[in-house]
A and B are shown apart, each in its own frame.
Chain A
């Protein structure tokens, strides 16, 4: 597959975009496929099998791929990353196709393939079902691209309906709006940071929605107090926990100023804890409405989970920030995001027993 990319049009818009996404020598393709193989072998080798309906596979393939494609096309950093490419003269049609193809390949190879590896290892599938799932994943990517183009139509060169410049969205400026604050507080800073980014807000709103329905799903396990496991699941607020990794400028400044291990990390930890606790509060209210029986001990457990997961997230960001990422989406789906929820899930299961 790597050689396919290398041989397809050297010095074309496609190769320029693909190199940005996959690395100079397309090294991420082989790395992603190797990860899929390892995941498949590990899960398949463990002998863990479940019956999954083809409809679930098809729906996941389509919705997951479409969601990721939408996320990568809308990344706020694309404008900066591809500014040089859009400055050069290019053929409009070629650029449109190249952009969609490159981002589609990125979604399928680095994201959807991992989900497929898990599905194919967990259940037995026929060739027709696998083929249909792959086609649906491609359709999901193309559907998202179509939706993106439709949503931005008319924002390129006036009079041109399908203009490749719709993919170049420079960072939106709110103008030089004056702020009245005088004291620089990190909590206030982080709140501004998060509320300025629609993706971050959407992710947090999504977790609130999950918190509403989580009691319905978790309540099904008999003989186990599943309440703490919900707190663990809700600690997976990825964008909030990668603020330093995705802003190298901020990380450099924070490491430069004295005393930030306490000043910055303390405030950052408190911020994550507050966000996590807000999500847990929605979950507790929902649990009380659906199942009842919430007491002071449960509220205390929620607070402890929020603080513990925040402390772990800040520790990982401070000591092991994610480096070498190509686009923002790489951060959102980095394996590190599962460490904190996994630890908290184990703690939740232990408490529940």
Chain B
């Protein structure tokens, strides 16, 4: 049984959700981490972002999340309107799971998700399926500071999928997860098309190949290549990135 069925719109007719043109970001002015990155995200698609260490994946996701101030962008359009990454309406429509996150350590998972839902002005759906799927039953009422790296990642992933924002940004979502949770995550990403768009970064080719409608290759702060449909094959992408840095 193929559990990773894609339901993409290969014709590319989907309405554009996010358009960014010539986005550059830097920590020190002399060295740009992102240089003139342009990107279009359609509604209800899954886009994988792959690149070697230091390519700028995390910086890209942090910039879109509104956490960095040192950037410039020529055009930024959200749902057909110009916007800034810190606009309330945009913040209300996206949620980010970071590769490393140790926030709200003195909340339990239930308290955290309740607080996050209130911040997004959303009523929480039934969480039992997500909690069971990620094997998180034993940890829902434990302080986040007492959770292991993998369980902490699960807490934020459950929150992300439960809130169902229009745009889900996932930075290295597979890192730290056990085998079963990883498979469940792939199913969730694939199934998310009915709620919105997922943009996720990864070092793991498997995660990209099994879920993405499009794959963007980020190299030295630029999107150097993109793969769609049948082009999304591990061997092809590995050729572009070099064999030694990618796990499969």
CA of A196 to CA of B106, assembled, Å: 9
**Among A183, A185, A257, contact of B119 (Cβ-Cβ < 8 Å):** A257
Contact A177 B142 (CB under 8 A): yes
CB distance from B66 to the nearest CB of A (A): 7
How many residue pairs, one in A and one in B, have C-beta atoms under 8 Å apart?
92
Contact B88 A253 (CB under 8 A): no
A-binding segment of B30-38, B95-103, B173-181, B219-227: B95-103
Contact A252 B67 (CB under 8 A): yes
Given A182-B111, A258-B92, A263-B119, is A253 in contact with B104 using a C-beta cutoff of 8 Å?
yes
CA of A189 to CA of B139, assembled, Å: 18
Q: Which residues of A contact B113 (CB under 8 A)?
A: 184
B-binding segment of A107-115, A140-148, A168-176, A329-337: A168-176
Q: Which residues of A contact B245 (CB under 8 A)?
A: none
Contact B88 A259 (CB under 8 A): yes
Contact A258 B119 (CB under 8 A): yes
CA of A181 to CA of B106, assembled, Å: 12
**B110 on interface, CB distance cutoff 8 Å:** yes
Can you name the residue of chain A whose Cβ is closest to the Cβ of B104?
A253
Contact A173 B111 (CB under 8 A): no
Contact B146 A177 (CB under 8 A): yes
**A159 on interface, CB distance cutoff 8 Å:** no
Q: Which residues of A contact B105 (CB under 8 A)?
A: 193, 247, 249-250
Contact with A along B66-90 (1 / 0, CB 8 A): 1100000000000000000000100
**A31 on interface, CB distance cutoff 8 Å:** no
Given A252-B67, A260-B119, is A174 in contact with B110 using a C-beta cutoff of 8 Å?
no
Can you name the residue of chain A whose Cβ is closest to the Cβ of B98?
A252
**B116 on interface, CB distance cutoff 8 Å:** yes
Q: Which residues of A contact B142 (CB under 8 A)?
A: 176-179
Can you name the residue of chain B whose Cβ is closest to the Cβ of A173?
B146
**A192 on interface, CB distance cutoff 8 Å:** yes
- For chain B, give the interface size range: 20 to 34
CB distance from B92 to the nearest CB of A (A): 5
Given A176-B139, A255-B67, is A249 in contact with B101 using a C-beta cutoff of 8 Å?
yes
**A180 on interface, CB distance cutoff 8 Å:** yes
Given A173-B146, A256-B67, A257-B119, is A180 in contact with B141 using a C-beta cutoff of 8 Å?
yes
Contact B103 A253 (CB under 8 A): yes
Contact with B along A248-278 (1 / 0, CB 8 A): 0110111111111001000000000000000
CA of A247 to CA of B91, assembled, Å: 22
CA of A181 to CA of B66, assembled, Å: 31
Q: Which residues of A contact B110 (CB under 8 A)?
A: 181-182, 184
CB distance from A231 to the nearest CB of B (A): 29
Q: Which residues of A contact B103 (CB under 8 A)?
A: 247, 249-250, 252-254
Contact with A along B159-171 (1 / 0, CB 8 A): 0000000000000
Contact A256 B88 (CB under 8 A): no
CA of A258 to CA of B95, assembled, Å: 9
Q: Which residues of B contact A81 (CB under 8 A)?
A: none
Contact with A along B131-143 (1 / 0, CB 8 A): 0000000110111
Q: Which of B65, B106, B116 has the most CB of A within 10 A?
A: B106
**Among B112, B115, B141, B146, contact of A174 (Cβ-Cβ < 8 Å):** B146
Q: Which residues of B contact A180 (CB under 8 A)?
A: 141
**B240 on interface, CB distance cutoff 8 Å:** no
**Among A182, A184, A188, A256, contact of B118 (Cβ-Cβ < 8 Å):** A184
CA of A289 to CA of B219, assembled, Å: 71
**A327 on interface, CB distance cutoff 8 Å:** no
Contact A177 B143 (CB under 8 A): yes
**A139 on interface, CB distance cutoff 8 Å:** no
In the A-B complex, list the 5 residue pairs whose CB atoms are closest, starting with the nearest: A184-B115, A253-B103, A184-B111, A258-B91, A249-B102
A177-B146, A256-B65 given; name 20 further pairs at CB < 8 Å.
A176-B139, A176-B146, A179-B111, A179-B141, A180-B141, A182-B111, A188-B111, A193-B106, A249-B101, A249-B102, A249-B105, A252-B98, A252-B101, A257-B91, A258-B91, A258-B119, A258-B120, A259-B119, A259-B121, A263-B119
Interface residues in chain A, defined as those with a beta carbon under 8 Å from any beta carbon in chain B: 173-186, 188-189, 192-193, 196, 247, 249-250, 252-260, 263
Sampled A-B contacts (13; CB under 8 Å): A174-B146, A176-B142, A178-B141, A181-B110, A182-B110, A183-B115, A184-B112, A192-B143, A253-B101, A256-B67, A257-B91, A257-B116, A259-B88
